[in-house]
Amino acid sequence: MRKQLTAAATSLALLFSLGTGSAFASSTLTTTVKSVYGTPYKTGGMSTRGFDCSGFTTFVFKKMGVSLARQSKAQFHQGSPVMAKSQLKAGDLVFFNTLGNGVSHVGVFLGNGQFAHASSSKGIHIDRLSSSYYSKRYVGAKRILSQAKYKKYAVNL
């Protein structure tokens, strides 16, 4: 129980720190994530009634005028590879192998080492790429947004 409370408090702190000292304070990206934070996980879900991981990323990118494939494995084949974690920018898709058979989970990078995703146990949630669970399962990242869309939707200029 104590671990769950600590995790919940950390998640809320991460969520509310997105607007504090962040270049992404009022972007469409963070506004969209904040608006659905805590929405429950739902297999096949693509709406505010419930999301799965690729349904969440599809929803977020639709708000930025970008169409994504429906499944995480297919989304992994879109965009340009981001070669190092140090090169990640807000709006990049981050991919994980959570089932042991290749890409099976996706989230959207928010900056400051944080990403938003649809957790099967917590719903729409923010985690750190450096967490022990996700750092071990990280597969790679893809840059989907053009430079113009990045400036328009992912940063607060």
Using DSSP's 3-state secondary structure scheme, residue 119 falls into strand
Residue listed under structure tokens 């140090």: 86
| 101 contact partners, CB below 8 Å, separation of at least 6 | none
Q: Is 53 a catalytic residue?
A: yes
Catalytic residue, chosen from 117, 119, 127, 129, is 117
Positive or negative, the CA dihedral 24, 113, 61, 122 is negative
Amino acid identity, residue 135?
A: S
Catalytic residue, chosen from 105, 118, 134, 150, is 105
* Residue 101 to residue 106: CA distance in whole angstroms: 14
Catalytic residue, chosen from 53, 118, 144, 154, is 53
Q: Is 77 a catalytic residue?
A: no
Q: Is 125 a catalytic residue?
A: no
- The catalytic site residues sit at 53, 105, 117
